[in-house]
Amino acid sequence: MTTWQKKAVFLDISGVLYVGDSVIPGAVDAVRSIQQSGIELRFLTNTSRQTRQMIYHKLRGLGFECSLQQVFTAPSAAVNWLRQHGKRPYCLVHPDIRSEFAGLDQELPDAVIIGDAADDLSYANLNRAFRLCLAGAPLIGIGRNRYFKLDDEYLLDAGPFIAAIEYAANTEAVIMGKPSVEFFTQVVASVGCLSSEVLMIGDDVHGDVEGALNAGLQACLVQTGKYRPGDENLISGEFDLRSSLVAAIDAMV
Amino acid sequence: MTTWQKKAVFLDISGVLYVGDSVIPGAVDAVRSIQQSGIELRFLTNTSRQTRQMIYHKLRGLGFECSLQQVFTAPSAAVNWLRQHGKRPYCLVHPDIRSEFAGLDQELPDAVIIGDAADDLSYANLNRAFRLCLAGAPLIGIGRNRYFKLDDEYLLDAGPFIAAIEYAANTEAVIMGKPSVEFFTQVVASVGCLSSEVLMIGDDVHGDVEGALNAGLQACLVQTGKYRPGDENLISGEFDLRSSLVAAIDAMV
């Protein structure tokens, strides 16, 4: 491990802290030790069907010490982006996270948000999104995943619909969520240190590790969750490889 | 104009023969003169909301001498492709052209057709198309246009949805309709001569002229229909520029 100074640690959630509803051994204590060390801590997730509140309550319910303000989700990053740019969104997002956008003015929209909105990704709604983008509205994507599996069935994620509107309106989406540099940069800004002083710990070699390195952070790949042997060879760049969150934290101090 | 031999002439329809319901002056006589010259004639259109029958009846109604077999549309080319490859399509096409596919077995589909199916481009239907492609079914696109205008409103065309499924299933669509080389090649096969012996005449510098040149045909851009001054400078390659169909035909003989 490099011995660069670490002023903040960013943690991926699913696969690093828990899998399903099972806490990964030692993870609760590891989180507590960071919280008590004076090092800033943030929790980062791409989930597009849960609000920050829902994630926060799940973490607390499993025993993790955290505050709501430490939780950054792709949708909440989109909300931050909209506030910073003074934009009124047309939201094509999953019904379960619509409340996340409730505080924003959505009359006469001048921005478009596309997430995995399921059946709301209809021809009529996509036409509305397209016409706004054709008129110059920025397109914000919540993740760019191709598909996901639900109840043994493959379903289209937001990525293909973002690609569709990009192609139709000849525009390029701003993507919120890992591995987007925009996303990491926004979380770093909440800490107030340099990107190079942050360590990102995750189980996804592309989303977590490669994304963090591209954004100028340090990174550590843990061998829990979705990690598969050899993942560490899929990308280039200098990063750490540890068996679990506990080992990653132990190596820090 | 080059003096290469011409064994066949391919005509774009809208903008070359008529605009809306108005015949372009001299076009009826020009078509008759080709039909009587012994040179093979074909009519090519990308329209995705009209069957060959509908196009044929419109041409006849406006006084053009033609047979149904001379009319090639993007959907009819898709039907030919499916027959040649022995495939059973899942058809996401406009209700007005579903009859074009009625002769094909559509049980247990192993190919996907995407056209501008309007409201049928729903999340549920796109998921079905995606899962078939993920399992290896070829994706056939009827055109690849980004959008079109209907009653003063911009609407998404098939292109963005083809792009979405390509992205999701990591595949590449076979595009039927101009400027696809596949499409021109299929029409050339119906004539039984070399591509280089065919002259394509159209008003769309990209769809008609560039597409034809890429497929090895000769090409002529006419200054009617959607032609705008300077269009001839948008592409490279050797082609003819004439004021209208009449002038193009006059130059041939």
What is the Cα B75 distance to its own chain's centre?
8
> A154 near A147, Cβ under 8 Å?
yes
Distance CA A45, CA A74 (A): 7
Q: Is the pLDDT of residue A2 over 50?
A: no
CB contact under 8 A, A160 and B160: no
Q: What are phi and psi of B17, to 5 degrees?
A: -100, -40
* B122 reaches A (C-beta below 8 A): yes
**For A193-197, A230-234, B4-8, B89-93, which range has the lowest pLDDT when averaged over its residues?**
B4-8
What are the CA-CA distances from residue B229 to residues A14, A118, B221, B236, B243 (Å)?
58, 45, 11, 16, 11
pLDDT at B5: 79
Amino acid letter at B164? A
pLDDT at B249: 94
What is the Cα B184 distance to its own chain's centre?
8
Please give the full DSSP string across A200-220, using - where no structure is assigned.
Answer: EEES-IIIIIIHHHHTT-EEE
Distance CA B4, CA A198 (A): 69
Q: Give the mean pLDDT of A16-32.
A: 96
* B121 reaches A (C-beta below 8 A): yes
Residue B236 CB neighbours (<10 A): 8
For chain B of 253 residues, list the mean pLDDT of each consecutive stretch of 10: 76 95 96 95 93 96 97 94 96 96 96 97 98 97 88 91 97 94 94 96 95 97 94 95 96 80
> B79 near B93, Cβ under 8 Å?
no
Residue that is written with structure tokens 């399903």 in the block: A20
Q: Is the pLDDT of residue A237 over 80?
A: yes
- β-pairing verdict for A40-45 and A71-73: parallel
Residue B156 with chain A: CB contacts under 8 Å: 123, 126-127, 130, 164, 168
Report the run of H or E that residue B175 belongs to, with start and end.
Answer: strand B174-176
| Backbone dihedral region for residue A154 (phi beyond 0: left; psi -120 to 50: alpha; all else: beta) | beta
Report the run of H or E that residue B125 belongs to, with start and end.
Answer: helix B123-134
pLDDT at B253: 65
ipTM of the complex: 0.84
pLDDT at A223: 97
Q: Give the mean pLDDT of A120-143.
A: 97
Q: What sign has the CA pseudo-torsion A99, A100, A106, A112? A: negative
Distance CA A251, CA B7 (A): 77
Size of interface A-B (CB pairs under 8 A): 83
Residue B141 with chain A: CB contacts under 8 Å: none
CB contact under 8 A, A154 and B130: yes
What are the CA-CA distances from residue B68 to residues A59, B60, B115, B120, B202 (Å)?
68, 10, 22, 29, 20
Query: Would you state the structure tokens that stand for residue B240, as one six-digit string?
Result: 């003819």
Q: Where are the beta strands (DSSP E) in B109-171?
A: 111-114, 139-142, 147-150, 153-156
* A159 reaches B (C-beta below 8 A): yes
Distance CA A4, CA A7 (A): 10
What are the CA-CA distances from residue A123 to residues A143, B152, B204 (Å)?
21, 17, 28
Query: Would you state the structure tokens that stand for residue B38, as one six-digit string?
Result: 């012994």
CB contact under 8 A, A147 and B168: yes
Distance CA B19, CA A40 (A): 67
Measured in residues, chain A has a length of 253
Nearest by CB to B167, which of A118, A127, A159?
A: A159
Q: Give the chain A residue whose CA is nearest to the CA of B161.
A: A164
Q: Is the pLDDT of residue A1 over 60?
A: no
What are the CA-CA distances from residue A163 to residues A141, A145, A193, B105, B174 (Å)?
10, 11, 34, 32, 18
Distance CA B91, CA B68 (A): 23
CB contact under 8 A, A167 and B154: no
pLDDT at B196: 96
Q: Give the chain B residue whose CA is nearest to the CA of A159.
A: B168
Q: Give the chain B residue whose CA is nearest to the CA of A134.
A: B154
Please give the full DSSP string across chain A, using - where no structure is assigned.
Answer: ------SEEEEE-BTTTEETTEEPTTHHHHHHHHHHHT-EEEEEE--SSS-HHHHHHHHHHTT----GGGEEEHHHHHHHHHHHHT--EEEE--GGGGGGGTTS--SS--EEEE---GGG--HHHHHHHHHHHHTT--EEEE----EEEETTEEEE-HHHHHHHHHHHHT--PEEESTT-HHHHHHHHHHHTS-GGGEEEEES-IIIIIIHHHHTT-EEEEESSTT--TTGGGSS-S--EEESSHHHHHHHH-
How much is the pTM? 0.85
A151, A162, A167: best mutation site toward chain B, by most B Cβ within 10 Å? A167
Reported as a pLDDT band with limits 50, 70 and 90, residue A56 is very high
For chain A, the distance separating the N- and C-terminal CA atoms, rounded to the nearest angstrom, is 11
Q: What is the pLDDT of residues A144-161, one digit of tens each?
A: 889 888 888 899 999 999
pLDDT at B145: 87
* B150 reaches A (C-beta below 8 A): no
- β-pairing verdict for B40-45 and B71-73: parallel
Query: Would you state the structure tokens that stand for residue A140, as one six-digit string?
Result: 């914000």
* A93 reaches B (C-beta below 8 A): no
Reported as a pLDDT band with limits 50, 70 and 90, residue A3 is low
CB contact under 8 A, A160 and B164: yes
Residue B146 with chain A: CB contacts under 8 Å: 167-170
Nearest by CB to A127, which of B122, B155, B170?
A: B155
pLDDT at A93: 97
Q: Give the mean pLDDT of A220-229.
A: 94
> Taking Cα atoms as reference points, which of B111, B104, B120, B117 lies closest to residue B89?
B111
> Taking Cα atoms as reference points, which of B14, B9, B5 lies closest to residue B33?
B9
Q: Give the chain B residue whose CA is nearest to the CA of A118.
A: B123
